[in-house]
Structures are given as structure tokens and as C-alpha cells.
Structure 1
């Protein structure tokens, strides 16, 4: 099965070419701009709201080094506004317990509200949580936040979850195309099988997390370790390899498997 983000990228590239441009100058994938506006955006000052998944995270999951924009310079991706968008995406696998986003407001001022963080089957998946406050102001300069997807650890299966995001100007005018409403699927595995995905958010705050966050992780205002790309767990001690290492291999660094004798390949598959 192809990697999570490779599936997303390939689907968009193959099925929606009229709405997609991959520009080497910007080194990102923007899901939602008609070719007629291509020249205009190349020289348009980037001074409005943007929300994206950064290159390092996308590359870790897919091998592609590009940004994936949900909102680019004040414009919401038409792909996200498509009511069938969720059907295009693969199930988020057990190995992936969070997704990091970056956003900025640019020269403008916006308030945000995550008004929906809901699991549709809490026996499998706990409600999603985020590393920032659910209400506040979008930062002027680029800043990262995480959406955590904590499995219950009690049951294996696939659960639906829903995220809602309201964005409006300081005068209360919604950003065109918002609120964003996403319903996605997350796979969870019973802890007796493997439990790498269920620990990041479920451990809860630790008042001393600033002394314990490893691998350049940092303690956020909620006293939860914010892990850098490629690490997970309560104290950022666990490297993330996706797909997971095969044939008894160990994930010793982000996207790097240490293979047992007789096996080789990026994931010890051969």
C-alpha cells in the first residue's frame, strides 16, 4: 500500500490536474488554483493567511519534498471544499499518531476556533486534541502546531473523526471557504499488537516536561512535549518510520530502519 501522503499527492495529481500546480520556484503543492491564475500568483505578495503541512513531514511519509497547502495566501483549496474530499484520502495508519501543520496570518489579522474535535467511535479512538488553544489569534509569522490522534489502546479497528475550524477577521467576517469541515479515518491497533501510535497525546501534561523532552523537543504551554519532525511519544524519544520496519528491523532514527542480518532496503523489506 503506498505511503499516506504519496497516496494523497498522487490522487490529487492524477484526478484534479485543472486545480493543481507544482511550481519549482515555490517548491510546494497547492491544491486549488486554476491555471488561469498561475502567472498572477507567482508575483503576488504572500501577505495573507496560509495553512500547510510542511516539507519535512510530507517527505517523511511520502518521499516527496513539498508543502501541501490547505489555505494559500487567503484562498482555501477547492479540493478541501469538495464534499467528497474525505473519500479521496487513505486511512491514517496506526504508525501515525499526529500531523504537524504550519500557519501564519501574514499582514492581516484573523481569529480561529477549533469548534469540532470529535471521535465517532471513542472505543477505538479518543477525541483528537491539538497542541495549541482551541480559540485564539492566528500568529502573524509561521508557527507550527500538531493535531494528535490518540488511540484508546483497547480495541483494534478503524474510527472516523471530525475536525472543524472557524477562521474570521477581527470584525467577525469569515474567511471565504470556511469553516473547514473534515471527516477522516484513523486506524488503531490493540496495545497487545503494537502501541507506537497511541501514546503521544494520551499521556497528559507533565509539569516537568521541559526537563524531559528529548531529541530537540520542547515543552509547550500545556506542559506537553512538542516533538520535532520524525519523533513521537510523551517525551519525543521514539523515532517514527512509516511504513514500519519489516522483518524484525528497528526504527533507529526518523525514516531509518536498522535491519537484521540477511535483510536490506529502506524498510528491511528485502
Structure 2
């Protein structure tokens, strides 16, 4: 129904193996948005709630987000030991004279926390402009293996109604605009828009304090203060460790430590494996395995799949 007007709807791309990603709108936020007070589940056990699936149809009948709603709060959590990584790929206003680009109170790239934590999407109306602004919010969620679990539909456009703002940019995290046109913040938050949260001890290694006592950690770090490093192994062949025991491998390599070449037979004469049985050859050499030089006649290579090996 009308609830989809306020959600950066996501489409399911693949099912999570662990099935332990959850995202919901809490009862207090639901009451502000749609008038009744109960939690609204968006993602459960790594799968989208049924009402989010028909996004295109819902988009056609979407009203604009009302004037009095400055932001929408989502709560998310990765349960058990599963790890999920997210990336906000687009936060763009198409009517920048009415509303600035949407904001989020977490880093654009990071891991979903294991405690229920609030992600706030803000709609910063500008100055004294009246009107309706179109905007995009695109988010990608991946599991520890790099598989895409959730992704906002392409060309998903939302709308926000703005009118002369008393506190330009709005007050976030439950703050309100007082008669002096200054944001008064709830305990644990500060800043011109109540956009900053207090964490003690502070978040380390590039982590961001997103609510009192809760840090969002960048890939590779975890812990209450992002003080612990994930990587316990060394990735080979230029791989990058981003999760305990997990490496992101460059083209041509695979395996937990990127130690397995995708080329069944090694590339010769200084060639580099760049994919499944594909070699990139040094200058002067050619062929599937880079075994042929300028002195060889330009006859087709014998592919490794044929069961024969090449002569040098």
C-alpha cells in the first residue's frame, strides 16, 4: 500500500546462505509515517518482505514524502556470526534548488552491525524554496562471500515535498526545531542538525559513531570501538583480506587465500593468468598459454580442455 512511498525499496537479487540479515521500521517511526503503531519488517532472514516486491507498480502511485517528515529511520541487524557489507551507491537530488542530496548517518561503505542499529536517511530541504524534489537512494548489500543479497531497483525515483524550512537542513535523530530556529537535540546527539552522536570510547580505525555507544566499522575491523582487525590470514597474489579467513581475489585467482590459479596449466614466458584458462602474454608471445613466440608459425593453440599439452 502507501507505505512503499517512504521506503528506499530493495529487490532481492540472491538469497543469503546464513539468512540472518534483518531490516525494519520501528513502531514509533511507523506511527509518524502511516498512522499506526507496529514494527514494519522490510528484510527478514535475508529475504525481502512480500509488500516490497512489486516496486514498479508501487512507484506509479507513490505520493511525495510529506513536509513534516525530515528523515526516515531504518533499523538493521546481522544476527549470529554472519557478516554483511553494504554500500550506498547513489544519494542524489534531481532538484538541488529545492532539496540537497539525501543524507545517511553511516559511512557510505561498511558492515551491517550485529546489534540493532538505526540508519537515518535525511531529506535536507533548502532555504526558503517550496516545491517537490525528486531523488535517488541506491544501496547494495553483500554477504561475506561477495554475493549481492539486496539492491535498490535501478532508476528508483522518490519524491519529497519541501516548504520554507525553519531549520534549513532539518533536525535529525529525534531533534526538533525550536522557536529560535535552532535544533534541540536528544541526549547523546549534538551538532547543528543533531547529526553527530557521542561514543565513549570513540570509534577507531575510521569507524563512525552512529548512535550513543554504537560504532559502524569499515570493512576489516570489528568490535564495540572498531578496535579489532578481522584479518587472521595473509592473502596471496595481490588478494585483499576483508573478513576473517576471506580474501577478495584479483582476476585469475581463487580460493580462501587467492592461492589457486584459474589456469589449469601455468602461463608460460612470463604470462599472467587473468581468468579461467586465459593468459595475458608478455610482448612477443601469444597463444592460450603464451607458449608461442614470434618464431612459431601462427597456428591455433591446443586448448588445455582438449587434454593435450602445448609444446614450447
TM-score by length of 2: 0.49
Residue of structure 2 equivalent to 1:8: 3
Q: Does 1:216 align with 2:190?
A: no
Q: Is the 8 A contact 1:150 1:200 kept in 2?
A: no
Q: Is the 8 A contact 1:97 1:150 kept in 2?
A: yes
Q: Is the 8 A contact 1:130 1:146 kept in 2?
A: yes
Structure 2: distance between partners of 1:223 and 1:94: 19
- Could you give the per-residue CA deviations for residues 178-209 of structure 1, whole angstroms, max 9, x where no partner exists? 21234211000134xxx3574237xxxxxxxx
- Could you give the per-residue CA deviations for residues 63-107 of structure 1, whole angstroms, max 9, x where no partner exists? 311122221221123433422332343211111111111000112
Q: Is the 8 A contact 1:110 1:170 kept in 2?
A: yes
Residue of structure 1 equivalent to 2:57: 84
Please give the residue correspondences for 1:1-270 in structure 2 after superposition, counting only pairs within 5 Å. 7-8=2-3, 48-82=20-54, 83-107=56-80, 108-175=82-149, 178-181=150-153, 182-191=156-165, 195=166, 198-200=169-171, 214-219=185-190, 224-225=195-196
Structure 2: distance between partners of 1:186 and 1:217: 28
Deviation of residue 214 (structure 1)? 3.4
RCO higher in 1 or 2 (8 Å CA, sep ≥ 6)? 1
Structure 1: distance between partners of 2:75 and 2:167: 24
Deviation of residue 8 (structure 1)? 2.3
Structure 1: distance between partners of 2:167 and 2:65: 14
Q: Which runs of 5+ in 2 are unaligned?
A: 12-17, 173-182, 199-312
Q: In 2 relative to 1, CA 94–226 (structure 1 residues): closer, same or farther, beyond 3 Å?
A: farther
- Could you give the per-residue CA deviations for residues 152-178 of structure 1, whole angstroms, max 9, x where no partner exists? 124210011111110001211011xx2
Question: Highest CA radius of gyration, 1 or 2?
Answer: 2
Displaced runs of 4 or more, over 6 A = none
Q: In 2 relative to 1, CA 79–63 (structure 1 residues): closer, same or farther, beyond 3 Å?
A: closer
**Aligned with 2:69: secondary structure?**
coil
Q: Would you tell me which structure has more helix in proportion to its own residues?
A: 1
Q: How many correspondences in the alignment?
A: 173
**Aligned with 2:126: secondary structure?**
coil
Q: Is the 8 A contact 1:57 1:100 kept in 2?
A: yes
**Aligned with 1:84: secondary structure?**
helix
Q: Which runs of 5+ in 1 are unaligned?
A: 1-5, 12-30, 33-45, 202-211, 228-270
